[in-house]
Structure 1
Amino acid sequence: MNTLRLLFFSFSRIWRVLPHRLRKSGTGLFISMVILGLLELGGILSLSLFVGVLNDPERVQQSKYAALILEYAPFLGPVFADSRTLMLCTVLVPISMIVTKNMVSAFVTWKTGLLGGEVAGFVGCEIMRRFVYMPYDWHISSLSAEAFTKMSWRHSLGQLLIQSMVAYSNFITAGLLFLGLFIYAPGLTMLVLGVMAVTAVTLYGAVRKNIDKSSHNNAQAQARESHATMAAVRGIREILIYQQQPTFLHAISQAIRDSVRPRAFLETAPPIPAWVLESMGFVLIGCTLAWMTLIQDASRAAITANIAMLTLTAWRVLPSLNRAVGAIINIRANQPTGLPCLEYMEQLKAVPQLDVESQDSDFAIKDGIRLDNIYYRYPGAEQDSLKGVTLDIPKGASVGIIGKSGAGKSTLINVLSGLLQPASGRILVDGREMTPGQMLTYRQSIGYVPQNPYLMAGTVAENIAFSQWGRPPDAERLHEACQQAQIDFLGENFENLSRGIGENGAGLSGGQAQRVTIARALYARPAVLIFDEATSSLDHRTEESIRRTIAELPQGITRILIAHKLTALKNCDLVYWLEDGRIYRKGEAAELLADYQTLEENNA
């Protein structure tokens, strides 16, 4: 039952998620595999005929099959009349069959590899497409962390599909070959079938548990290796500071070592059926020869004919059985990585995605933004992070948000930027709720400067133009953004925009990295610019320089600043004091920041 489930249930699940184009290719490939099986059968029958003609041409000429052929094709009379001509013509049949079979086999092999790659490519692109269009609250869940590990297992999913088709087609081929043998020699066929079936089932049962264990251990080792490698790449600064190189090296090395033996067994397991079944096949030929010679006392012609048929069948049937059983073994070996990849893609398909097609190009902020009685709770949390928040942000104003850690500042910014949808309450622009299309346009009109910006390995120009990634950077917009961000390390006329930087801004100081991030936000020409603790990790002198840059930005840009440091907000037109997810106070910067500082000092 488990084997049937393995062969059919997993295949049907994969088949359902494939697009019509790949299903069509898969159907064509399967038909080609069946045709290949028929050609295998034709090759065996034609070889058997040729051996029969060589052994006793008169018997063939006088057989009922010859009479039947001549009845429908009397022009072949001269061929059957002369034994030499019959032998010469008969040899052309297996030659044509085998040549055609090999051509079809080459085509099937090519299409098999192509389909496996296309299925893996489709799954990888589908996971990535759904990943980038997932809502932000999904990205901050644990599911998002699994995306790249599961995507790296997509080739196993492709192999599950291909190996299932290989198993089906080879079982069909073996069945057709056994049918041909059964018509010729029923008793011998039942003997061969019984021995081969018992051998295959016993063999599969013997290796199944080891395959499951090895594939499971291999998948776990790969996951640990991926996790440790990603942690080392992203946390290299802390690794160097805390001298954790031996720990990470040990974790990665151990994961690699743990995968060696399981992977070696998984590579060894598929050929095992070939070794065992081939040995049994030729042992069976020897036993059949002994039986017919010693027990049945059969004639030489009968022995030759049966042994020839059995040898030819073993020569062609055994590879089909080997491939079928080997395919089942490969299916089991790929399940622990292939099925989680499929399940992950099914989970992604069940989550509603962002619709970027319905943007309202005429939408613009004219008066300002208002949050009206906003509540938000993170999935799985016991309490609301925002509790009835109401605030107004006039267009072109500089608005500060202050509060201690855990007050809800980052959640508020994520709601303001449209990344999180509130559980209740309204986000209003110019006094009106936004349509889904307007919300998409609104989100695109926001520039964001985080505390710890992501800078990719590449040039400064590529990082600044990140919002238009994939297109050549616009020189005019680059210079405009660099000028507004007051970047002073790229030359007087920004001629060093092609300067290279490493991953996560390696090669830039903290202040330089932050100015590149500000320029990146300005490159998109936003209507609203959000600074999320953008200066908290900078020294006083650099912070003051960045603060002046923010104050000197074009007046039409609405600026929203979150900060722990009170000095970062002193130029704001309006400041909101957030406490335990609620607006505790609002007012002018000078008065409110002074009260906030007094409270902090009293609580110190």
Structure 2
Amino acid sequence: MSDPHAINSFGLYKRLFGYLKQYWRLFALSLLALAVAAATEPAFARLMKPLVDGGFVERDPERMIWTPVAIVGLFLLRGLTSFINDYSTTWLAGHLVMRLREEMFSKLLRLPVSYYDDNASGRVLSRIAYDVNQVTEAGFNIITVTVKDGITILGLLALLFYTDWQLTLICLTMIPVVGISIRYVGRRLRALSRQNQATMGQMTQVLGESIDCQRVVKVYGGAPYELRRFMAAANQLRQNGVKQAATSSSNTGITQLIVSVALAVIIYFASLRASHNQFTAGDFMSFLTAMIMLFAPVKRITSINQSLQKGLAAAESVFGFLDEASEHDPGTRELKQPRGKLDFNQVGFCYPKAEREALSAIDLHIAPGETVALVGSSGSGKTTLVNLLPRFYDPSAGQILLDDVPLAELRLANLRSHIAMVSQDVTLFNDSVAANIAYGCFEQVNREQIIEAARAANALDFIEAMPQGFDTLIGENGVRLSGGQRQRLAIARALLKNAPVLILDEATSALDTQSERLVQAALERLMENRTTIVIAHRLSTIENADRIVVMQQGRIVEVGAHAELLALDGVYATLHRLQFKEPQHG
């Protein structure tokens, strides 16, 4: 996993601005409007001299008319340019966030299964939902304040130097002190922002689990525990927020104190000069106005450090995620219509950080159209073996071939297009029945094909009984359907895909007898003329398989038909006796 801390601030900004290349004209217009709006502030301070000297001291009627008109024109220009800048930066910021979210979601879909094994889903969600918004802080809000206030400060300082360079030098004594303060505070704020992002991920994780597992929480009385977990994360966020505010506020307070001391000294010396007629009233008013106006942008620039560090920490998180390695897809070949011949040659696999191999020296050859059942106790490697077929993981030893072509040589998308899966834990989407059946190919199939797949899966009757039929929304993960109905939708989906290789993982283990008969009939229809690998704990469901492969501790220990294995009186026969000693429930 890449280290986000390795990305420096310059690198972050370079990457951020890379997203704005195509909008450079609008960005340039925004900066131009910003510069004009900023220039109006020193211009306003400069107008104080003719207003006071001409209007109040010399009582010049011409100046008394054009100076107020100039002030109105100045603020009209400032309002117009501020609107152009605000509108364009908001538009650009929205596009930046949308582009980043698009890239992050695209990356999310291309990450390997191992990434999801190692990373909490809450942290991933908070990166896309929360961190990406913070990036705009490091982008446009910072630019707006830095450019606008930077130009304002430079303009006001130029006016101050023009009016009296000696007094202005006093202003500059505060810059090194302020710089040191900003540097120290910046480090602390970024560290706190990183903690905030991690804590936000934890809170999102607790939220997601409490929603997904709400029935378990209710039945087992887990509400107090979940509340404690949630409040621990929420309290950590609160404490971090207070620390950030305290750090930022202390920085602002120190800066303001330095500025106020400089301001007091300047006013004192300016008063002395005015008393010796070295300063006109207009000069003093212009100088004082510029000094007072200088106070606000300096305060904003020093305060912006909190937003800057928060945004940069978020950008580190976002780009760290985007830099994660996608699924390894070195394949260049494609199979058009494979027959479904599968060969496992000395296949081994070990999970990262695992003490022993999950699979060892697996040799298995499956003919096209053959049904092979995998049986064995939990942890024997059955699911791991079938997870190697769609290349959710790559073998650490040996190779797997489809129609005599190594899986590693096939493009991932092409390989997976030839495989269909139906598992015990059916995954459905909060969409219509039709969209769930035709998932992944909704635009390539017509309604008649969807209906035919539902009929073949024994699902047509209950679908047509629904309020909107095939257009009925089924709720999150099909919560409005029974277990048997969900299974039949999954089978309809597999039928419609019409892939030559089929994986059935405990497809009927959680069903009642009536549902199981309907599902079993649909499965038999689905298995026709396909190479099928069945994982089953209930041995009664796989007695008719062409071959049964018995696994133990990651190895194949027996292979044969049901009757052959019973006659062998080995591991399979023992499993069979243990299972059928238990009373059968209808």
- Length-normalised TM-score, structure 2: 0.83
Residues 321-400 of structure 1 mapped to structure 2, 5 A cutoff:
321-346=298-323, 348=324, 350-351=325-326, 354=329, 360=334, 363-366=336-339, 368-400=341-373
Q: Deviations over 1:502-531 (max 9, x none)?
A: 323323222222112212222222222210
SS of residue matched to 1:302: coil
Q: Give the alignment's Cα RMSD to 1 decimal.
A: 4.0
Residue of structure 1 equivalent to 2:557: 584
Residue of structure 2 equivalent to 1:599: 574
Contact kept? 1:49, 1:90, Cα under 8 Å: yes
Using the alignment, how far apart are the partners of 1:559 and 1:206 within structure 2?
Answer: 64
Which letter does structure 1 place at the counterpart of 2:221?
Q
Residue of structure 2 equivalent to 1:226: 204
| 2:96 is the counterpart of 1:124 | no
1:452 to 411, 425, 430: 425
| 2:12 is the counterpart of 1:14 | yes
* Structure 2 CA distance for partners of 1:56 and 1:493, relative to 1, 3 Å: closer
Residues 72-471 of structure 1 mapped to structure 2, 5 A cutoff:
84-85=61-62, 88=65, 95-142=72-119, 146-152=123-129, 153-166=131-144, 168-169=146-147, 170-195=149-174, 198=177, 200=178, 204=182, 211=189, 215=193, 218-260=196-238, 262-263=240-241, 288-293=266-271, 295-296=272-273, 298-299=275-276, 302-346=279-323, 348=324, 350-351=325-326, 354=329, 360=334, 363-366=336-339, 368-433=341-406, 436-437=409-410, 440-468=413-441, 471=443
SS of residue matched to 1:467: coil
Using the alignment, how far apart are the partners of 1:395 and 1:516 within structure 2?
Answer: 26
SS of residue matched to 1:416: coil
Residue of structure 2 equivalent to 1:77: none
Using the alignment, how far apart are the partners of 1:48 and 1:518 within structure 2?
Answer: 79
Residue of structure 2 equivalent to 1:484: 456
Using the alignment, how far apart are the partners of 1:511 and 1:22 within structure 2?
Answer: 51
Long gaps (5+) in structure 1? 1-5, 61-81
Deviates most, 520-529 or 497-506: 497-506
Using the alignment, how far apart are the partners of 2:279 and 2:273 within structure 1?
Answer: 11
Which letter does structure 1 place at the counterpart of 2:357?
D
Using the alignment, how far apart are the partners of 2:8 and 2:94 within structure 1?
Answer: 18
Deviation of residue 321 (structure 1)?
1.6
Residue of structure 2 equivalent to 1:66: none
Deviation of residue 334 (structure 1)?
4.0
* Structure 2 CA distance for partners of 1:26 and 1:164, relative to 1, 3 Å: farther
Identity of aligned residues (%): 21
Using the alignment, how far apart are the partners of 1:472 and 1:490 within structure 2?
Answer: 25
- Length-normalised TM-score, structure 1: 0.81
Deviation of residue 272 (structure 1)?
8.0
Using the alignment, how far apart are the partners of 1:408 and 1:213 within structure 2?
Answer: 43
Using the alignment, how far apart are the partners of 2:135 and 2:434 within structure 1?
Answer: 39
SS of residue matched to 1:428: strand
Residue of structure 2 equivalent to 1:63: none
Which letter does structure 1 place at the counterpart of 2:225?
T
1:51 to 46, 49, 56: 49
| 2:547 is the counterpart of 1:547 | no
Using the alignment, how far apart are the partners of 1:214 and 1:248 within structure 2?
Answer: 25
* Structure 2 CA distance for partners of 1:283 and 1:134, relative to 1, 3 Å: closer
Deviation of residue 409 (structure 1)?
0.9
Long gaps (5+) in structure 2? 580-586
SS of residue matched to 1:468: coil
Which letter does structure 2 place at the counterpart of 1:193?
L
Using the alignment, how far apart are the partners of 1:111 and 1:245 within structure 2?
Answer: 47
Which letter does structure 2 place at the counterpart of 1:599?
T
Using the alignment, how far apart are the partners of 1:21 and 1:535 within structure 2?
Answer: 49
Contact kept? 1:134, 1:354, Cα under 8 Å: no
Using the alignment, how far apart are the partners of 1:15 and 1:353 within structure 2?
Answer: 29
Q: Deviations over 1:341-388 (max 9, x none)?
A: 332222x2x4455589x784x611136222222222223334332222
Using the alignment, how far apart are the partners of 2:44 and 2:228 within structure 1?
Answer: 61
Using the alignment, how far apart are the partners of 1:553 and 1:189 within structure 2?
Answer: 86
Deviation of residue 267 (structure 1)?
6.8
Q: Number of matched residues?
A: 570
* Structure 2 CA distance for partners of 1:536 and 1:41, relative to 1, 3 Å: same
Contact kept? 2:120, 2:205, Cα under 8 Å: no
Using the alignment, how far apart are the partners of 1:195 and 1:417 within structure 2?
Answer: 64
Deviation of residue 124 (structure 1)?
1.9
Contact kept? 2:48, 2:286, Cα under 8 Å: no
Residue of structure 1 equivalent to 2:583: none
Deviation of residue 556 (structure 1)?
2.2
SS of residue matched to 1:501: coil
Deviation of residue 569 (structure 1)?
0.9
